[in-house]
Amino acid sequence: MTVTLYEVRESPHSRKVRLLAAELGIHLHTVACDPRIGETRSADFLAKNPNGKVPTLEEDGFVLWERRQSSNISPPSTPSAVSAARTPRPGP
């Protein structure tokens, strides 16, 4: 399982996803994607995330964006850390 994080290193939104992944033991392959130089507006990136924003997570072709949504990623013991976040969890 390779989870890729498209990010801006100094972005607090990106940092929160990195911290959560570290806490869960998910190894992230990080790809710098800097809006300040238009990298989030490239055709390739917009095909992944039409909002053109980072952080954006990708695993096996499944793409997840919005930091709050990313906060639902699952530990690596689950079949798919990222796509599991698509399924809402029951509340407390």
Ligand X SMILES: N[C@@H](CCC(=O)N[C@@H](CS)C(=O)NCC(=O)O)C(=O)O
Binding residues (CB under 6 A) for ligand X: these are 8, 11, 13, 35, 40, 52-55, 66-68
CA–CA distance, 48 with 39 (Å, rounded to integer): 12
Q: How far is the CB of 77 from ligand X (least distance, A)?
A: 25
Based on CB atoms, which residue is closest to ligand X, 66 or 77? 66
Distance CA 31, CA 48 (A): 13
Least distance in angstroms from the C-beta of 38 to ligand X: 9
Judged by beta carbon, residue 63 or residue 77, the one nearer ligand X is 63
Here the tokens at position 90 are 């029951």
